[in-house]
Amino acid sequence: MKDVIVITGAGQGLGECIAKALISNGFRVAITDINEEKAVELAKKLDTDGNTAVGFKLDVTKKQDFEQVLANVEARFGQVNGLVNNAALTLMTSVMDVTAEEFDQVININLRGTLFGCQVFGAYLAEKGYGRIVNMASLAGQNGGAAASVHYAASKGGILTMTKVFASNLAAQGVTVNAVAPGPIDLPIVYELVPPEKLQHLLENVIPVKALASPSFIGNIVAQLLQRDAFGVTGATWDINGGLFMR
């Protein structure tokens, strides 16, 4: 029986790429998004055999939404084996102009959303004695990023630390928790948020490999961390940044 993975913020963008990669790697997926229509539409597109993908609405700022999605997915597939905390809000407000309201909005979606996901699914998977959780962090959480805002960077830095805390707490119950930290990715949102001249400068002078990261490759890395034989990796952060941050 193929393992079932829930992905947050998967109606489009990187989440969609992760969903496709997981299916290609033999998983079944529950695509969740604040936009229910997008989640359901993508699930229908990817569900080629009637038992591969399903879509649900999920507001990651509400713990009860995670609990409901968990119940729904278990009822649909009979099992839940992992979670990818991917949902995020990216804003490009300059550091001195970030308001309290905007700061709270980004932290609530990116950091609190990851907390609730790890709590709800972590407890469930620990009770089952097996599970995989992957949190999508960012280069911005490691070095401030190449073009990130302060609230986004702070939230992603928090995810890196949170990953270690949950990893140490859940390891004995057979649950691994890891993070993936991409740099700039070859996705439409990057071209929308970063001005062309700044992006050109990044590619020519800042990113050592002079290319944006491949979203499909990121999806495949996530898939590897979700495999049954990935038990030897937990509390780790996998860097995919084109050499922007080396350690």
Rounded to a whole number, what is the distance in angstroms from the first to the last CA of the chain?
38
- Mean pLDDT calculated for residue range 74-82: 98
Its pTM stands at 0.96
pLDDT, greater one: 148 or 239: 239
Quick one: which H or E segment has residue 50?
none
Q: Does the structure show a pLDDT above 80 at 187? A: yes
Q: Which pLDDT score is estimated for 166? A: 99
Chain-centre distance of CA 127, in angstroms? 23
- Domain parsing of the chain, residue ranges: 4-233
Report residue 1's pLDDT band, with 50, 70 and 90 as the boundaries: confident
Closest by Cα among 83, 86, 111, 65 to 15: 86
Q: What is the mean pLDDT of residues 112-137?
A: 98
Contacting residues for 13 by C-beta, under 8 A, at least 6 apart: 187, 188, 189
Does the annotation mark 152 as catalytic? yes
pLDDT at 222: 98
Name, in order, each residue with C-beta under 8 angstroms of 245's C-beta and a sequence gap of 6 or more: 139, 142, 143, 183, 239
Homologous superfamily of 4-233 in CATH?
Answer: NAD(P)-binding Rossmann-like Domain (3.40.50.720)
H-helix or E-strand containing 107?
helix 100-107
Residues 90-117, mean pLDDT to the nearest whole number: 96
